[in-house]
Amino acid sequence: MHTPLAYLRQKLGNLPCADALEAYHAWWETTGRGLSETVDRAGTPWLRQRNRLGERVDEILAPEGYSTLVQEGYKHGAVWRVIEDGDWQGSFALGYITSYYDPGLYCPHTVSLSTAVPLSKYGSPLLKERYLPKMLRRDGEAWQGATWMTESGGGSDLGANVKTVAVPDGDAYRLTGEKYFCSNVNAELAVVAARPQGAPEGVRGLALFLVPRYREDGSLNYFIRRIKDKIGTRAVITGEVDLQESVGYLLGSAEAGVYLILEVLNISRVANSVGSVALLQRAIDEAEAFARGRVAFGKPLIEHPLMHRQFTRWRNALDAAFALAWESVRLLSEVGMQTPPYSPRYHLFRLITHLAKYWTAEQAAQAAKWCMEVHGGAGVLAEFGVERLLREAMVLPIWEGGSHRQMLDALEVMQRRGAHTLLLEHLASHADPAELQAWRERLEAYLQQPAEVQEAELETLIPPLAEWVGECLL
């Protein structure tokens, strides 16, 4: 039987936190699936901005069971495992199970982790004492985090488009600006990109701030302007936020802000890769279940040579995508607590993560489309459940930096840090020596071309490179 747990067992052998994974998987089968369907069917939640007295409350009315759905992952350790035990692999294995059943739900867990990690690395002792224990609760009341960088001008070019300004105020700052895409907008804490007053233009002038939802007197620290009405990912509530002299606490130093922002994004990119592979598996499993039961021309669909060949190809693609994504998890477990200046291992992690984010998301989107096609007309009917996979998959190549951004960032880390050399060294014990040599020559020749050609031709380089790296790591 194909299940996410069985697949993890097959790929990883000894599972990290095996008992928790088994319990979490069982919960999904008995309870989570139903809650997830309800939340998806209910559509966009309602924002009640004012109470009966007309006072601003910004309350989000989510479907019944939403909180149970979100909190189960925290109970099992989506966040506390990393912060308390350093068990990144356990957290990402839980994320794999979450995403198999509900890819959108992995976003709240991810952005909470991407908040807790910089808080634990860069927060002052007072901040950590005040907020971390709340994020690590295991009783179904864990505080959630969120990561808000993007503003209305666009998310790829944060240096040009982040207009939020942070003005010093005692030992804190006051942030004013508008955040256009705010996932997990119902969270109690957010890490927010803003420009300290007087800081230079561009990405180097940005810093990372911890912004609580409520001020110490219990009043709202920022305002939710509206909830986004999205194609899918309804298990994460995405909104727009107005920061109006909102209290924020600087994390780390303002000068290193851009690195902290990238660290946050890189954690989310690893999670996006793991979630994409889980969706890929789900699409193949759903397609297979249908193709075994549906008979055409006298035999089950799966026994027809053309269909059979497609299944073999997708299962191979799944294994390579998993190997690539899990390598970025392994490397993150090594380098996730590093601070700038980073080791070469961190640059290797970055290259593998850009390749993984790009490749797995593209594969997931294609697999979701193919899964619908295998179902024929039934694929477009909501009652078969696979149209949802397509709705969920479409965002995977976009958020956390789109596919163009991943290719461009992969190029940058090769050009500036020689990460391709580190990659080839890393693969030396896995790869066929002739292939390794061919890639060395290809990459070196590629990087000799004029800068504009290197950018323009990335689609001839990155997809085959990502696929090859995944296959080497099998």
Interface residue list for ligand FAD (CB under 6 A) = 147-150, 154-156, 181-183, 230, 233, 238, 395, 398-402, 404-405, 408
Q: How far is the CB of 397 from ligand FAD (least distance, A)?
A: 9
Q: How far is the CB of 198 from ligand FAD (least distance, A)?
A: 24
Which CB atom, from 91 or from 272, has the smaller least distance to ligand FAD?
Answer: 272
Which CB atom, from 75 or from 391, has the smaller least distance to ligand FAD?
Answer: 391
Which CB atom, from 344 or from 402, has the smaller least distance to ligand FAD?
Answer: 402
Which CB atom, from 122 or from 399, has the smaller least distance to ligand FAD?
Answer: 399
- C-alpha–C-alpha distance, residues 463 and 366, integer Å: 14
Nearest partner of 258 among 211, 212, 199, judged by Cα: 199
Residues 6+ apart with CB under 8 A from 35: 65, 66, 68, 69
Which CB atom, from 327 or from 400, has the smaller least distance to ligand FAD?
Answer: 400
Which CB atom, from 91 or from 406, has the smaller least distance to ligand FAD?
Answer: 406
- C-alpha–C-alpha distance, residues 340 and 359, integer Å: 27
Exposure string over 203-223, b if 16+ CB within 10 A, otherwise e: bebbbbbbbbbeeeeeeebbb
- C-alpha–C-alpha distance, residues 149 and 155, integer Å: 7
- C-alpha–C-alpha distance, residues 21 and 19, integer Å: 5
SS3 (DSSP) at 181: strand
Exposure string over 294-316, b if 16+ CB within 10 A, otherwise e: eeeeeeebbeeeebeebbeebee
Q: How far is the CB of 64 from ligand FAD (least distance, A)?
A: 23
In angstroms, what CA-CA distances link 47 with 150, 203, 232?
21, 33, 18
Which CB atom, from 180 or from 314, has the smaller least distance to ligand FAD?
Answer: 180
Q: How far is the CB of 341 from ligand FAD (least distance, A)?
A: 25
- C-alpha–C-alpha distance, residues 88 and 78, integer Å: 9
Which CB atom, from 120 or from 147, has the smaller least distance to ligand FAD?
Answer: 147
- C-alpha–C-alpha distance, residues 216 and 126, integer Å: 14
Q: How far is the CB of 40 from ligand FAD (least distance, A)?
A: 14
Q: How far is the CB of 427 from ligand FAD (least distance, A)?
A: 28
Query: What tokens appear for 387 in the block?
Result: 């149209």
Cα 273–237–280 angle (5° rounding)?
25
Q: How far is the CB of 232 from ligand FAD (least distance, A)?
A: 8
Q: Is 255 left (phi over 0), alpha (psi -120 to 50) or beta?
A: alpha
**Beta pairing partners, 196:** 166
Which CB atom, from 348 or from 461, has the smaller least distance to ligand FAD?
Answer: 461
Residue in this structure with the two tokens 């004013």, named with its chain if needed? 176
- C-alpha–C-alpha distance, residues 195 and 177, integer Å: 10
Q: Is 154 left (phi over 0), alpha (psi -120 to 50) or beta?
A: left
Which CB atom, from 205 or from 401, has the smaller least distance to ligand FAD?
Answer: 401
160: phi then psi, degrees, rounded to nearest 5: -85, -25
Q: How far is the CB of 148 from ligand FAD (least distance, A)?
A: 5
Q: How far is the CB of 157 from ligand FAD (least distance, A)?
A: 6
- C-alpha–C-alpha distance, residues 346 and 139, integer Å: 35
- Which residue of the chain is nearest ligand FAD when measured via CB? 155
Q: How far is the CB of 376 from ligand FAD (least distance, A)?
A: 29
Q: Do residues 224 and 95 lie in contact, with contact meaning Cβ atoms separated by under 8 Å?
A: no
Which CB atom, from 183 or from 363, has the smaller least distance to ligand FAD?
Answer: 183
Q: How far is the CB of 182 from ligand FAD (least distance, A)?
A: 5
